[in-house]
Amino acid sequence: MSSAPAGRPVERKEVDRVTIRFAGDSGDGMQLVGTQFTNASAVLGNDVSTLPDYPAEIRAPQGSLPGVSAFQLSFASEDIFTPGDQPDVLVAMNPAALKVNLPDLPHGATIIVNDDEFNATNLRKAGYDKNPLDDDGLSGYRVHRVPITSANARALADSGLTANEIDRCKNFFALGLMFWLYDRPLEATLRTIEEKFEGKPQVREANKTTLKAGHAFAETAEMFPASFRVPPARLEPGMYRNITGNAATALGFVAASQLCGRPLFYGSYPITPASEILQDLARYKNFGVRTFQAEDEIAGIGTAIGAAYGGALGLTGTSGPGLALKGEAIGLAVMTELPLVIVNVQRAGPSTGLPTKTEQSDLLQAMFGRNGESPVAVVAPCSPGDCFHMAIEAARIAIRHMTPVIYLSDGYLGNGSEPWRIPDLESLPRFPVEFPTDPATFKPYARDEKTLARPWGIPGTPGLEHRLGGLEKANVTGMVCYDAANHDLMVKLRAEKVARIAADIPEQPVFGPSEGDVLVISWGGTYGAVRTAVQSAQRDGFRVAHAHVRYIHPMPANLGEVVKRYRRVLVPELNLGQLLFLLRARYLVDAIGLNKVAGQPFRSLEVYEKIAELCRPNN
Amino acid sequence: MAAPALTRKDFASAQEVRWCPGCGDYSILAQVQKVLPDLGIPKENIVFISGIGCSSRFPYYMETYGFHSIHGRAPTLASGLKASRPELSIWVITGDGDGLSIGGNHLLHVMRRNIDLTIVLFNNQIYGLTKGQYSPTSEFGKKTKTSPLGNIDFPIRPLSVALAAEASFVARSVDADVKHMQQVLERAARHKGTSFVEVYQNCVIFNDGAFDGFATKEQRPEHTVQLVHGKPLVFGAKRDKGIRLNGFTPEVVTLGNGITESDLLVHNEALHDPTLGMLLDRMTHPDFPVPVGVFRAVERPTYEDMMTDQIQRAVERRGAGELGQLFREGDVWEVKAKDANRVP
C-alpha cells in the first residue's frame, strides 16, 4: 500500500535477504531512518538484525570523515543472526559517507548517493581531489545519483519551514526512496512521524510529504530497473515486536521484579552505551521501579547494595570503565553475600576507549577485577532478544544464591535490534523470596544445605538485628572474626557457593554434530556471526559444531566433557583471548583463538575462513 | 499489649567495644544509645551504616541493624536503603577522613538530595585507624607522619560544606559535653530530611587535646557559644560577652558600656538562606568562641517522599504496571502457525 501515484509497471524481483547501510553526517538522522526501515521490515514479517554505528562526538564537524554516522540492517525471509557481513546497498548522503563506507562494499553492490552534496566543499572535507562519481573508480558498483537535497527542497517549497528546517527532512526523502525500492509500507513510519512531531504540525506535515515524495520519485524517475521484495520469514508463531538489547534488558529486569515479588531498584550513572537501560527503567514507575541517577559509578552500586540489603531487587548498570570503579563495592557485596546484579554493557577499552564501539574485553575484569578471592557469577546474553531472558536469569541466580551476578552485554547487543517473540508470562520462571523471620533460628551466615546461600535477613524484621560489613565474618554467627582457619573456610565457602550455581543452570547445548573436527565456542554478542559461519560450514560439509556459552561463571557442568569430543576447539572473541584463557585453564584444552579488537563485530566470513582452515586434515 | 519501653542497654550489642581507652567515640556511642529509646522507634527499624575508620566500627556495637561498608561510601548505601525502605530510621556514622576526603562527593550529594538520614561526623582532625596522618580537617601547618614539615593542605570546614549543600539540619557538638550532644542528636534524629551533625571528638593517641582550648568543661563557658533559636549570641562564664554583626563580619563584644543584648546577633536556625549559618561557621577559635548547637533546621521535601509520590502518581495515572501490556509497547505483529505466513 502506498499513496504514491501510479507509475509504469516495474519488474519486481524476489530475494531472500538484503543488507542496507544508511550513512550520512551525524546530524542527518541516519539512526532514525535506519530504525524506521527496520520496523517496517519487521512488521512485514521479515527477520531483521541491525548494527548502528555512530561517532562518540555529538556533532563532529559537518561533512567530515569522523562525523559519519551509519546504520546497517539486514532483513530476510529466513532466520538470520547478524546484520550482514557486507551491505548490498549503501545510501550515502554525502562524499564523506561514501568514502568511509566504500571499503565495506562487495563488488557489484548498489550505491545510492545524494548527488547534490557532491560539491567542491564536501568533496574537499572528505579528502577527495575530484568527484568520485565522475571517474571510473566506482565502475564495479551500480551507482544511482539522486538529487536528494534539491528534490526534498522542491517537495517542501510550500511547507512554510525555513531552508534549514527543510534540509533536515531529507532523510525521510531518502527513506521513501528505499521504501519503494524494497516494497515496504509507509504506514508505520507515517504513524511514527505523527507521534514524534506531535507538537510541531509544520515539521510533521513536511516529513510526511517528503517521505511520500521520495517514494513517488523512485517510482517515476525510472532510475531503478526493478524493485525488490523480501517475503516474510518463517519465525516461530507468536506475537512479535522489534527490540534493542538495552530495551530488552530493562524489560527483563522489570519482569524479574514481578517474578520474584520484590521491587526493583536501579542505581546507575549515565554512560554510553548503557544509559538507555536507566532511561527505560525511569519510565516504568507504575511498576514500582525506583531509579536513582547517582553522582558517580560508585554511588550507583552503593545505592543498589543498600537497596538489596533492604530486600529490593538491587541492580546497578554501567559500561567498561564504570565497572572498574565499582570493583571495591562488588567485593563488599561478595563479602556481605547480598543479591545484586551488575550490568556491564561493554564497549571498546581500555579506559574511555571507543565509547560507541563494541568489544567484549571486560570478561576477565568481571571474573577477577577485585581484591582478594572474590568470586561472582557471570552471565552473558547472546542476542538483543536474549537480553530479556538473561536479565531474568541474572536476577534469579543473584537471589537464589545470595551473590552478586555480573551481566555482560555489549554495545553491539545493546544498540542492535531484532524481532523479539513476546513471551508467554506463564512460561517465565518464578523465584519468590522467603525472608527469614524467626529470631530463634536466624543466624546471619547460616547456609542453605544445597546452595550454601545465607539467609536474606532484612531490616525491619523484629529480633533479627545483626551487622553486616566488609570485615571477615565468622561462619554461621556473622560476628567479626579475624581467625585464620575461619577466613580459610569462608573463602572456600564463597567459592563453593558460586561453583554450585552450575547445578542450577542448563547444560551446555551444542549446535551440530556431537563430535567432529572443530568445536567453536563463543560467548556474548558474537553469537550471530559465529552461528552463521558454523551453519555455512556445516552446509559445506565441514564437521563443525557450535557451543555458545551464556553462563560463563560457573560454566555449564557438561562443558568440560563437550570440549573433549572434538579434534580442535576454536574460540572467536572480540578481545585478545579472554574466554580462551578461562577455557584453557579450566579444561586444559589446547584451544585456539580467533581474535579481533577493532571496535566492530565479526563478519561471519572471518569466522568461516578460520573454521575451514582448522578443518583441513593436517590442521 | 504495648512492648516494654526500650532502654539504653537494649541498644548495646554483644560485640566487645574496641576503641582506645579514653577515646571520644565512647561518649558518642553512649549518647546515641541514650537518645534512641526516647525516639519511640522500634529497634528493628533502626539501621546504622558506616564507612571505614575508627568511627565506622560503630554499627558493630549497636544492637540494631548495621552495615559497616567501604571507604567513604556509607551515604550511598544509606541513600539506596532509604529510597527503597522509607519507613526505616537510618543513621550514617562517619569520620573526617571517611566523610570529607574519600567520601566527600557522596556527602555533598546526599545532603543536597535531602534524603532523610541522620549523619554523625566524628571530627578528630586526624587519621586514627591508619595511624596518624593528616586529615582534611587538620589545621594548616600541622606536623604529622605524612606532613613532617607541616601540612600544606588548607582545612575544610565540614559545616560550611553541609550548608553549601543545603542540608536541612546542620549542627555541632563536642564529645565531652554529653547533655548538649544528647539534645543535638535527638533533634537531628527527629528532623525529617538530611541531618548533619559534626562532633568534635578527641583522639587520645594521635591528636590528643586538639580541642582542649574550647571543648573541656573548664574552657567551654568562655570559648564556646551556644546557638539557641531566637536568642542573641551570648557567652562567657558571667554571660557578659556576645557576638555582634559589623556589616557581614561577626565581632566579639563585651556587654555593658552601652552595649546590650539587643545589639547582638540573634540566632535564626529556620532561615532557608544558609548565609547566616556560613557566617557563624567562619568564627574560628581562638579569635572567636566556637559555636555549638543547631546552625540550621528547615523543612524541605525529602527525596524518598518525592520518589514514592512519583510512583504513586504514575500508578494512579497509568494503573499498576501490567507486564503483558508493557511487552506489547510500540509496533507489534503476529506470526501465525509455522509456514502459514509465507505469502505466495
Closest partner CB to A302 (pick from B68, B76, B336): B76
Sign, Cα dihedral of A77, A237, A83, A545? negative
Annotate B185-204 with b (16+ C-beta within 10 A) or e (fewer): bbbbbebebbbbbbbbbbbe
CB contact (8 A) between residue A42 and residue B78? no
For chain A positions 425-444, those within 8 Å of chain B (CB to CB) are: 425
Annotate A450-467 with b (16+ C-beta within 10 A) or e (fewer): ebbbbbbbbbbbeebbbb
For chain A positions 93-132, those within 8 Å of chain B (CB to CB) are: none
Q: How far is B64 from chain A (nearest CA, A)?
A: 5
Q: Does B315 touch chain A (CB under 8 A)?
A: yes
Q: Mind listing the pLDDT tens digit for each residue in B56-75?
A: 999 999 999 999 999 999 99
Q: Mind listing the pLDDT tens digit for each residue in B271-320?
A: 999 999 999 999 999 999 999 999 999 999 999 999 999 999 999 999 99
- State the pLDDT at residue A3: 39
What is the rounded distance in angstroms from the CA atom of residue A250 to the CA atom of residue A234? 27
CB A330 within 8 A of CB A362: no
What is the rounded distance in angstroms from the CA atom of residue A585 to the CA atom of residue A575? 17
Q: Mind listing the pLDDT tens digit for each residue in A461-502?
A: 999 999 999 999 999 999 999 999 999 999 999 999 999 999
- State the pLDDT at residue A9: 53
Closest partner CB to B70 (pick from A332, A422, A425): A332
Q: Whole-model pTM?
A: 0.94
Residues of A in contact with B323 (CB under 8 A): 254-255, 258, 425
CA B308 to chain centre: 24
pLDDT category at A2 given cuts 50, 70, 90 is very low
Which residues are CB-neighbours of A508 under 8 A, at least 6 positions away?
Answer: A547, A549, A555, A556, A558, A559, A562
CA angle, A201 then A202 then A204, to 5°: 60
Output the CA–CA distances (angstroms, integers) from residue A418 to A242, A415, A602, in the order listed: 5, 10, 17
Q: Is the pLDDT of residue A194 over 70?
A: yes
Which residues are CB-neighbours of B323 under 8 A, at least 6 positions away?
Answer: A254, A255, A258, A425
pLDDT category at B2 given cuts 50, 70, 90 is low
CB contact (8 A) between residue B44 and residue A423? no
Closest partner CB to B83 (pick from A258, A290, A480): A290
**β-pairing verdict for B224-227 and A467-469:** unpaired
Q: Helix, strand or coil for residue A315?
A: strand
ipTM of the complex, rounded to two decimals: 0.97
- State the pLDDT at residue B156: 97
Residues B134-163, mean pLDDT to the nearest whole number: 97
CB B276 within 8 A of CB B229: no
Closest partner CB to A251 (pick from B85, B327, B331): B327
Closest partner CB to A307 (pick from B14, B83, B318): B83
Q: How far is A423 from chain B (nearest CA, A)?
A: 8
Q: Does B16 touch chain A (CB under 8 A)?
A: no
- State the pLDDT at residue A410: 97
Q: Is the pLDDT of residue A520 over 70?
A: yes
State chain A's mean pLDDT as an integer: 95
CB contact (8 A) between residue B81 and residue A309? yes
For chain A positions 460-499, those within 8 Å of chain B (CB to CB) are: 460-471, 479-480
Q: Does B328 touch chain A (CB under 8 A)?
A: yes
Q: Does A71 touch chain B (CB under 8 A)?
A: no
CB contact (8 A) between residue B15 and residue A467? yes
Q: Does A303 touch chain B (CB under 8 A)?
A: yes
Residues A247-252, mean pLDDT to the nearest whole number: 98
Q: How far is B46 from chain A (nearest CA, A)?
A: 8
Q: Mind listing the pLDDT tens digit for each residue in B309-334?
A: 999 999 999 999 999 999 998 889 88
Q: Does A346 touch chain B (CB under 8 A)?
A: no
Residues of B in contact with A304 (CB under 8 A): 80
Q: Does B3 touch chain A (CB under 8 A)?
A: no
Q: Mind listing the pLDDT tens digit for each residue in B153-187?
A: 999 999 999 999 999 999 999 999 999 999 999 99
Least confident of A5-19, A170-184, A238-252, A581-595: A5-19
Beta bridge partners of B119: B92, B196
Residues A296-303, mean pLDDT to the nearest whole number: 98
Q: Is the pLDDT of residue B343 over 70?
A: no
CB contact (8 A) between residue A460 and residue B45? yes
Closest partner CB to B65 (pick from A77, A314, A459): A459
Q: Is the pLDDT of residue A11 over 90?
A: no
Residue linked to cell 581500555? A350
Q: Is the pLDDT of residue B340 over 70?
A: no
For chain B positions 275-304, those within 8 Å of chain A (CB to CB) are: none
What is the rounded distance in angstroms from the CA atom of residue B99 to the CA atom of residue B121? 7
Give the count of Cβ contacts less than 8 A between chain A and B.
221
Q: What residue type is assigned to position A160 of the chain?
A: G
Residues of A in contact with B68 (CB under 8 A): 467-471
CB contact (8 A) between residue B333 and residue A239? yes
Q: How far apart are the first and last CA of chain A?
A: 55
Q: Mind listing the pLDDT tens digit for each residue in B183-202?
A: 999 999 999 999 999 999 99
Residues B20-49, mean pLDDT to the nearest whole number: 97
Which of B63, B65, B73, B84 is the mutation pick for testing A, counting most A CBs within 10 A? B84
CB A295 within 8 A of CB B68: no
pLDDT category at A424 given cuts 50, 70, 90 is very high
- State the pLDDT at residue A5: 42
What is the rounded distance in angstroms from the CA atom of residue A285 to the CA atom of residue B321? 8
Q: What residue type is assigned to position A237 of the chain?
A: P
Which of A257, A313, A437, A465 is the mutation pick for testing B, counting most B CBs within 10 A? A465
Sign, Cα dihedral of B122, B124, B127, B132? negative
Higher pLDDT, A413 or A13: A413
Q: Does B71 touch chain A (CB under 8 A)?
A: yes
Residues B4-17, mean pLDDT to the nearest whole number: 91
Closest partner CB to A480 (pick from B15, B79, B332): B15
Q: Does A372 touch chain B (CB under 8 A)?
A: no
Which of B13, B65, B102, B315 is the mutation pick for testing A, counting most A CBs within 10 A? B65
Residues of B in contact with A295 (CB under 8 A): 105-106, 108-109
- State the pLDDT at residue B344: 35
Q: Does A223 touch chain B (CB under 8 A)?
A: no
- State the pLDDT at residue A4: 39
Which residues are CB-neighbours of A357 under 8 A, at least 6 positions away?
Answer: A53, A347, A348, A411, A599, A600
Q: Mind listing the pLDDT tens digit for each residue in A103-137?
A: 999 999 999 999 999 999 999 999 999 999 998 88
Q: Mind listing the pLDDT tens digit for each residue in A17-72?
A: 999 999 999 889 999 999 999 999 998 889 999 999 888 887 788 889 999 999 99
Residues of B in contact with A188 (CB under 8 A): 331
Residues B225-231, mean pLDDT to the nearest whole number: 98
Q: Mind listing the pLDDT tens digit for each residue in A319-373?
A: 999 999 999 999 999 999 999 999 999 999 999 999 999 999 999 999 999 999 9
Q: Does B53 touch chain A (CB under 8 A)?
A: no
Which of B6, B77, B304 is the mutation pick for testing A, counting most A CBs within 10 A? B77
Which residues are CB-neighbours of B338 under 8 A, at least 6 positions away?
Answer: A234, A236, A237
CB B169 within 8 A of CB B191: yes
Q: Mind listing the pLDDT tens digit for each residue in A540-564?
A: 999 999 999 999 999 999 999 999 9
- State the pLDDT at residue A10: 66
Residues B107-128, mean pLDDT to the nearest whole number: 98
What is the rounded distance in angstroms from the CA atom of residue A28 to the CA atom of residue A190? 19
Cell numbers describing residue B121: 561526623
- State the pLDDT at residue A420: 96
